[in-house]
Amino acid sequence: MAKRDYYEVLGADRNAAEGDLKKLYRKLAMKYHPDRNPDDADAEDKFKEASEAYEILSDADKRAAYDRMGHAAFEQGGGGGQGDFGDIFSDVFGDIFGGGRGGGGRSQVQRGSDLRYTLELALEQAVQGDTIEIKVPVLASCDDCGGSGAQPGSTPKTCDDCGGVGQVRVSQGFFSLQQTCPRCRGAGQIITKPCKGCGGHGRVERQKTLSVKVPGGVDNGDRIRLAGEGEAGPNGGPAGDLYVQVAVKEHSLFERDGKHLYCEVPIGFATAVLGGDIEVPTLDGRVKLKVPPETQTGKLFRVRGKGVAPVRGGATGDLLCRVEVETPVKLNDKQKKLLKEFQDSLESGGKRHSPRESSWFQGVKDFFDSLSS
């Protein structure tokens, strides 16, 4: 039976790039793979057909010959068309099945895992900077064996099953795959005399004490990297890194928003009406704030340069103080009488002393008038 055009088999345009051909072949191979279609001869034929087409078109020289002469280029011993489809399949699916054409196996010496440590800081520490000691549990390289896992004076033996590459080739039908060696679990070596200090693992659990220099201006979510302070790598490999994640605790007076600080400042009724000077806190002392007469609740006062200097540079932020007018409590009879006289004197002057109250009630009246009309 005449062979179908290879481009037609893959569903590809004749100008398709190699990457596009690979995607199309991958899709067909997953669809018609014999393991997914047991006892389906038609699916197996389509899988072989797609593999043959990809084997030709993925090779620049073979593709050029096919474009010139078609299937005739590979007849009469012309080569191609009958390659190792298992190798093609493992090349395309190597990221799934653990190795592609050429093998190579897993490196025996691997970098250790990175670690994360959450460091809680007071707002003052985060803004001004500090040096803090932390204790971190880690897997450290065994001192007795130097991380090899083998007893001092002995050395690991090369794995006979994989020849030291950490992977073995497994045949499945007409194609083969590379898999992690079950005997050495990918290490490529067998430890015949395990180290007594670490039991052959090459690493032991330890608590490490580290000094962390916190730069001024850090905020929630910022990370400080300590290179080489993570877990030791398997088989004596280099250690990973430790990432110290900053978590700033809530403050009793201040809230932070980027480089600015906010605080609420209660002021007395008389100060709000008549004005005056008050003291407000900052992270490095107190400053005086001038409150103008007739100040209302919610008024924001800006104290420049009393915020946070950003860790990555730039102008220092400001402190923004929001005043809250405090209503007098626990008044005696005389104070209540004086306050009543004061209230009467205000009312005798009309609503000009309470402009917001007057406009609010007018807005309520207009709202209900619109509902009734």
pLDDT digits 0-9 by tens, 148-204: 888 888 888 888 888 777 888 776 655 667 788 888 877 788 888 899 888 888 889
What is the predicted pLDDT for the residue at 99? 41
**Average pLDDT value for the chain:** 84
Share of the chain above pLDDT 90, in %: 40
What span, in angstroms and rounded, lies between the C-alpha atoms of 61 and 68?
Answer: 11
What is the predicted pLDDT for the residue at 41? 84
What is the predicted pLDDT for the residue at 105? 40
Contact indicator for 290, 271 with CB cutoff of 8 Å: no
What span, in angstroms and rounded, lies between the C-alpha atoms of 93 and 51?
Answer: 13
What is the predicted pLDDT for the residue at 176? 64
Res. 76: pLDDT tops 70: no
pTM over 0.85: no
What span, in angstroms and rounded, lies between the C-alpha atoms of 346 and 188?
Answer: 93
What is the predicted pLDDT for the residue at 100? 40
What letter represents residue 73's amino acid?
A
Domains and CATH numbers, the chain: 6-83 (1.10.287.110), 115-153+194-248 (2.60.260.20), 255-325 (2.60.260.20), 333-372 (no CATH)
pLDDT in tens, 101-137: 333 444 456 788 999 999 999 999 999 999 999 999 9
- Residue 118 dihedral angles phi and psi, to the nearest 5°: -90, 120
